[in-house]
Structure 1
Amino acid sequence: MPPRRHPTFRQRRLGAELRRMREAASLSGPQLARILDIDVSQVSQMETGRIGVSRQRIRAIADACRCLNDPLIQALGGMTQDRSKGWWEDYRGSLPAAFFESAEHEEFATGTVKVWASMFLPGVLQTADYAKGMFSRRVPSLTVDEIDLRTAFRTQRRNFLLRHPEKKFEAYIHESCLVTRFGGTEVLRQQLQRLVEDSYRGNVTIRIIPFKAHTYPGVTESFIYSYGEVTELDTVETDSSRGPEFYDAPNELNSYRAILGRIEKASLDEKESREMITATSRELKD
């Protein structure tokens, strides 16, 4: 079977963990290839997600690298078993690849997904009109059909969350997001009302960081921190105008966990946050 041309987020992440395991053992690619009795090109292709890896091969790599982290080995083995097709595949060829990676990142998470929103409301909590208001401000401009397609995709991301109540979603939102009027005043008013409704869902937590917080608690860019089956499989996704970027190195994960700790301390509790969203919605004027 020829190597994959476009490995998925999940396939690349599995490969990255295999590379990290090899490097922790101070083994080169050729050295690991000799131990496993495979071609050296296969090591490179496994570590970039371009070829599949069996559960047995992962165990062999772990043995070669003297890795004793059995929970991680088991979790990586489980990743090889999931060959299900994601709902986003229906959009492939119609949208940029970055859209699919964000959706797969959310589905890949087996634990809580935490979001820090500093500029606009989290995508999975957006109404269709709010999303359209955001996409309509893109430079260069999108056509009406392109805006509609992106909005439909974002709605699908939201529907996935609602269909899976076992998925825990925590949103930490700066107050500035509650007053930025993507799509206009009425669109924002309806969006805030939706936020209040979502805050009552059993798997959704919404907390606001007010302007009056003693300091700005997070980084300037929005980010998503997803918890994996084991800590090593946690992932951070940052948002930018050029698309998402992903981080999974241990020092990077430690840094973002510390940032999340500051954000949580500066946030209002759920009841206070709900009251602030409701009050803001009532105060909106055209």
Structure 2
Amino acid sequence: MALRSNPTLRQRRLGAELRRMREQAGLGGSQLARELGINPAHVTQMESGKTGISVERLRTIAALCMCVNEPLIDALADIITERERGGWWEEYRGTLSEDFREVAELESYARSLSTYSITFIPGLLQTATYASAIFSRSHALLPQHEVDLRTAFRLRRQSVIRDGKVPYTAFIHEAALRMQFSGPAVRSEQLSALIEDSEAPHVSVRVLPFNVDSLPSPFGNFTYAEGPITDLSTVQTDTGLGNQLIDAPAHVARFRVILAQMDASALSAGESREFIRHVKKEMEDADV
């Protein structure tokens, strides 16, 4: 079987979980290879997502590693059986970077999504003009066709919550509501759209105003994607060098604590809606 040159996010996650399973059992790669009757290099390839495995081999590995977490094993088996399913984001391979495609893949397979944003309105709730303004003002000074491509991709990502199948909670800091980069008309349109989206039954918009006693997150913008089981949840954070994907259980658990703190500190959904209306009117009055 030819090695994959570009394994998908889920293929890499499957490999990472196999490695975690092996390491928790205290087995080296060579030891596992000997038990399986394969070359040690094959173990490395499986754990990097560069080669696939069957469900039967998954269960053999789990048995050899003394893994009794049946929900995890079953969830990994589902990843294997879905491996032929290509996502719409693959259409953009060769035109957009892997970071863009990975975010779309992460969102599309999530059971629920929670985001935190301090710099701008979350991408899943952005209008076309607002998203375009963000890309137009990026440090790379993108040409217009690149701005249009990235904007179209961002809007297509929104289907994951527009169809109502994925519950979505957006924690938005007041600073993001007041950012000036998009201009008065675009900003006003975006805040109106945010109010409208917040009324959808599966969408919860929660504002963290400036007067909150403490900022519950030491991080900037991030997305928490709930997996089919808690063990397969992932956090994606924005950095100056691109996306960072976090799947180590202890680190992911830390973000669950942060989200719980935000839930306790943020305005309620109804209060947030009124707060956004107030900010919108205040900024529109100042622009007159």
Deviation at 1:281, TM superposition (A): 1.4
SS at match of 2:239: coil
Unaligned runs of 5+ in 1: none
- Please show how residues 255-266 of structure 1 align to structure 2 within 5 Å: 255-266=254-265
Q: TM-score, normalised by structure 2?
A: 0.96
Is 1:92 equivalent to 2:93 in the alignment?
Answer: yes
Structure 1 letter corresponding to 2:94? G
Q: 1:122·1:171 contact (CA, 8 Å) conserved in 2?
A: yes
TM superposition shift of 1:159: 2.5
1:205 aligned residue:
204
Please name the residue that 2:162 is paired with. Answer: 162
Q: Helix, strand or coil: the match of 2:182?
A: coil
- In structure 1, distance between residues paired with 2:131 and 2:280: 18
| Mapped pair 1:103 → 2:107 | no
Offset from partner CA, 1:44-86 (integer Å, 9 cap, x none)? 1110000112111110100010111111000100111112111
CA distance in 2 between partners of 1:181 and 1:155 (Å)? 21
The alpha-carbon deviation at position 41 of structure 1 amounts to 1.3
Partner of 1:235: 234
Q: Is contact 2:112-2:168 (8 Å) kept?
A: yes
Contact conserved, 2:226 with 2:233, CA < 8 A, in 1?
yes
How many angstroms apart in 2 are the aligned matches of 1:220 and 1:21?
29
Q: Deviations over 1:111-149 (max 9, x none)?
A: 221101111111110001111111111122100100000
CA contact (8 A) 2:107 2:160 kept: no
TM-score, structure 1 normalization: 0.97
Structure 1 residue matching 2:242: 3-state secondary structure: coil
Q: CA deviation at 1:186?
A: 0.9
State how far apart, in whole Å, the 2-side matches of 1:193 and 1:32 are: 57
* 1:212-231 → structure 2 map (5 Å cutoff): 212-231=211-230
CA contact (8 A) 2:160 2:166 kept: no
Separation in 2 of the partners of 1:183 and 1:129?
8
Distance (Å, rounded) in 1 between the aligned partners of 2:273 and 2:224 = 23
Q: What residue number does 2:51 align with? A: 51
Task: State whether residues 130 and 182 of structure 1, in contact with CA within 8 Å, keep that contact through their aligned partners in structure 2.
Answer: no
What corresponds to 1:61 in structure 2?
Answer: 61
The number of aligned residues is 284
Find out whether 1:15 has 2:15 as its counterpart.
Answer: yes
Alpha-carbon distance, 1:108 to partner: 2.1
Q: Which amino acid aligns with 1:47?
A: E
Alignment partner, residue 182 of structure 1: 181
Separation in 1, partners of 2:28, 2:62: 14
Residue 253 of structure 1 pairs with residue 252 of structure 2: yes
Q: Following the alignment from structure 1 to structure 2, what is the Cα–Cα distance between the partners of residues 183 and 176?
A: 14
Amino acid at match of 1:81: T
Tell me by how many angstroms 1:105 deviates: 0.8
Gaps of 5+ in 2: none
Q: Describe the SS at the equivalent of 1:3.
A: coil
Letter in 1 for 2:131: A
Deviates more, 1:217-226 or 1:7-16: 217-226
Note the C-alpha offset of 1:241. Answer: 2.5
- State the one-letter code of the partner of 1:39: N
Q: In structure 2, what is the equivalent of residue 194 of structure 1?
A: 193
Report the alpha carbon displacement of residue 89 of structure 1 after superposing the two structures with TM.
1.2
Q: Percent identity?
A: 44
1:251, distance to aligned residue in structure 2 (A) = 1.4
Query: 2:183 is matched by which residue type in structure 1?
Result: G
**Aligned-residue offset at 1:161:** 2.3
| Residue in 2 that maps onto 1:41 | 41
- In structure 2, the residue corresponding to 1:201 is in which secondary structure? coil
Q: Name the SS for the 1:212 alignment partner.
A: coil
What is the SS of the residue equivalent to 1:119?
coil
